[in-house]
Amino acid sequence: MPSVFRKALQLLTGVEDQSSLLKLPKKRPFKALTERELIQLESEIGAELFGPIPAGNRREFFCLDAITWIWYEESTDVETGKQKSTTTRYEIHDNGILKAQEGAQYSFLEGDELKNLSLAIQMYYEQVARKIYKRDPRTGQKLA
Amino acid sequence: MPVPNNEYHIPRIEAAEFGHNDRIDLHLASESALPYDQIKLAREAVTLATSGSMEQPIPAQPEAEIPTFAQLRQVGINLRAFSKYEVDSRINLFSNDEAA
């Protein structure tokens, strides 16, 4: 199939050696990170905000969209050896933060959990803005 | 629920306001900002909570500023605007390169 493509290109361009036409220019540092991959990078920072992750566990904490934050915790039960995971979705509304968990009722956050999440979001923003997007979190401007 | 402190501000950035000239239009609610030492205190507070759950109380909780719900939502808007800008500017760069 590639030879058919080359022949077609040769017919169109009139150039016999197509190798130079088929290569992307190297001078352009094109890093095709998708938004999803950027969020995964954010999550690596987010997971570390709460201290070391126990061996064998996995944690994700990231901002999914303007109002949704995801907390994911995966661990292995020491006694049974079974893996268990919890996904918690936090939605930020005008009147509070709604917590949604599988198999649990929606509830508005209060007390320590509300305080901890608020602080975590602040820290996440501060670190992600600087480390990933190279922006000043106070102004949003690109860092020099 | 702790009383949110209005002195903390997060710059308001709309994704739609991102151009491709490396400039962001900001609408700052106020000139005040969270001092760096407050951010440091907040960071230490959460780092102390090594339990792996936000439901656990943070020991030795220092005086940290708690943002309002609107400010927290602005964080999400800003972050997604940053990532959208990164993705869009790369696509734009690719298109310009191909056109040249």
Q: A16 and A49: one domain?
A: no
B78, A140: Cβ pair inside 8 Å? yes
Identify whether the C-beta of residue A31 lies closer than 8 Å to the C-beta of residue B75: no
Domain tally, chain A: 2
pLDDT of residue A69 exceeding 70, the answer is yes
Domain ranges of chain B: 15-99
Could you say which DSSP state residue A59 is in? Answer: E
Q: Please state the φ and ψ torsions of residue A88, each to the nearest 5 degrees.
A: -120, 130
| Chain B contact set for A138 (CB, 8 A) | 11, 33-34
pLDDT of residue A125 exceeding 50, the answer is yes
User: What would the pLDDT profile of B19-39 be if each residue is shown by its tens digit?
Assistant: 433 333 333 333 334 455 555
What interface predicted TM-score (ipTM) does this complex get?
Answer: 0.75
Q: A50 and A103: one domain?
A: yes
A33, B73: Cβ pair inside 8 Å? no
Does B41 reach chain A within 8 Å, measured CB to CB? no
User: What would the pLDDT profile of B65-98 be if each residue is shown by its tens digit?
Assistant: 778 999 999 999 999 999 999 988 876 665 655 5
Residue B6 confidence (pLDDT): 40
- The verdict on residue A142 lying in a domain is no
Q: How far is A112 from chain B (nearest CA, A)?
A: 6
- The verdict on residue A88 lying in a domain is yes
Q: A26 and A52: one domain?
A: no
Identify whether the C-beta of residue B50 lies closer than 8 Å to the C-beta of residue A52: yes
Interface-testing mutation among B37, B46, B77, B95, with chain A (most A C-beta atoms within 10 A): B46
DSSP3 helix / strand / coil % (chain A, rounded to 5): 35, 25, 40
pTM for the full model?
0.64
A33, B90: Cβ pair inside 8 Å? yes
* Residue found under tokens 């900002």: B33
Q: How far apart are CA B34 and CA B39, in angstroms?
A: 7
Closest residue by Cα to residue B15 from B3, B25, B7: B25
Token digits for A132? 């990933």
User: Which structural domain, as residue segments, surrounds residue A11?
Assistant: 1-30
Q: A42 and A103: one domain?
A: yes
Higher-scoring residue by pLDDT: B28, A135: A135
User: What would the pLDDT profile of A9-48 be if each residue is shown by its tens digit?
Assistant: 566 556 555 554 444 444 444 467 889 999 999 999 999 8
Token digits for B69? 């719900």
| Chain A contact set for B46 (CB, 8 A) | 49-50, 116, 119-120, 123
Q: A12 and A51: one domain?
A: no
Q: A3 and A24: one domain?
A: yes
